[in-house]
Structure 1
Amino acid sequence: MKLRTYFVEDNPTIRENLIATLAELADVEAVGMAETEAEAKQWLTQNMDAWDLVVVDLFLRQGNGLGVVSALQRRSAQQKLLVLSNYSSVDVRQRCLQLQADAVFDKSNEIDALVDFCIDLNTSKV
């Protein structure tokens, strides 16, 4: 069963590459995408039963990923939220985890860990 995933990333190249990589390696299916905080929050909160995983960048075309993370604090225990950003300092990671993100990954050097997380998540769903 595919992991229904929503992507919040404003860079089309990064978003397309991420979707392709996760689809190939971790059996992830993209169910939607947003480039802004407002469009992500609207879709995700209105379609709570339509996704298993959200991958959020912190810096967006409008708004930021922390607003998205904050809006999804009351999701079900099976739904996971990951932050994927170039800005993953200790303070940023700590803030994301305080807002109930399940994990934080650095775009520049933790893509393999992100893929592994998704594989493990998909395996535990079966």
Structure 2
Amino acid sequence: SVIENDISDVEILIVNDGSTDSSRAIMEKYQSEYSQIRVYDKKNEGVSSARNYGLMKSKGDWVWFIDSDDAINQGSLKYIKEEISDRNNKFDILVFKYLKFKRNSDVSKISDIKIPNEAKAISKFQAMKSLL
């Protein structure tokens, strides 16, 4: 779903944290097809360790964590880049709703995240309150 978006000016880091299936071969295939994709291997130490490792390898100003069981809508990256640009990079976090789905079933619900006035700039304190 990520490559169905315009990825021409983004870097995509894939952190392989100890997979034992054929995931590595799939990662290599995408890396060979798209110059923006870089694959890194590390031993399995949990999701936080993998994300921190990816942050160390990242060269960009902004990060979006997308897990292997996530899917993003076409146009999501464009929307996010526009939000960042329209606000002149003057915020620390962008929160948006998501859809939760389970294998072999329909979408079960939209996230319960309370986003004040949708795409409104809020303080870091308001953001923490919303997330908590």
TM-score band by shorter chain is 0.3 to 0.5
Considering only CA atoms, is the larger Rg found in Structure 1 or Structure 2? 2
TM-score (norm 2): 0.34
Larger RCO (CA within 8 A; separation ≥ 6): 1
